[in-house]
Amino acid sequence: MSPTLPDSMVADMDETSRPPNAVAAARALGLAAAAGAQCAAEQDDPLFGARALAFIVKYVREKGAVAGESITMAATKSGIRPKKGDRAFGAIYAKALREGYIQVHSYVPRLRGHGTSGGKLYVPGPNSGAVEFPN
């Protein structure tokens, strides 16, 4: 079960009335869920995080601008596949962004989200050459 915002924070909420801390709370819950998914993936494959990070950075360096969903699908096709689902990649993308290995270029419609908004197009970041690749 994933964490959710308390009903008191979302009841009757619109863009003009939502509490100022609602976005921060939602973001914190998302980060916690991503960390939990990565932890679960690394219980099955202790090198998941290192392998996924190296794949993401190398793939973006080689392809240039590429959608995150395309990167994740290529990673799973190459054998980097968390047993409990692809959500484990979220924490890896967050680390790659935080470390400057990749950066968001723009936003694209999601394939797995039936064309909804929120997909990200990544390009190499200023530190994309600094990633160590596991054996």
Q: Which pLDDT score, from 0 to 100, does residue 134 have?
A: 62
pLDDT in tens, 41-91: 676 678 888 999 999 999 999 999 999 999 999 999 999 988 877 888 988
For residue 17, is pLDDT > 60? yes
Output the DSSP codes for 44-99: H-TTHHHHHHHHHHHHHHHHSSEEHHHHHHHHHHTT---TT-GGGHHHHHHHHHHT
Cβ count near 112 (within 10 Å): 11
Domain ranges of the chain: 7-130
Q: Which pLDDT score, from 0 to 100, does residue 2 have?
A: 46
Query: What is 7-130's CATH topology?
Result: Arc Repressor Mutant, subunit A (1.10.10)
Model pTM above 0.75 = no
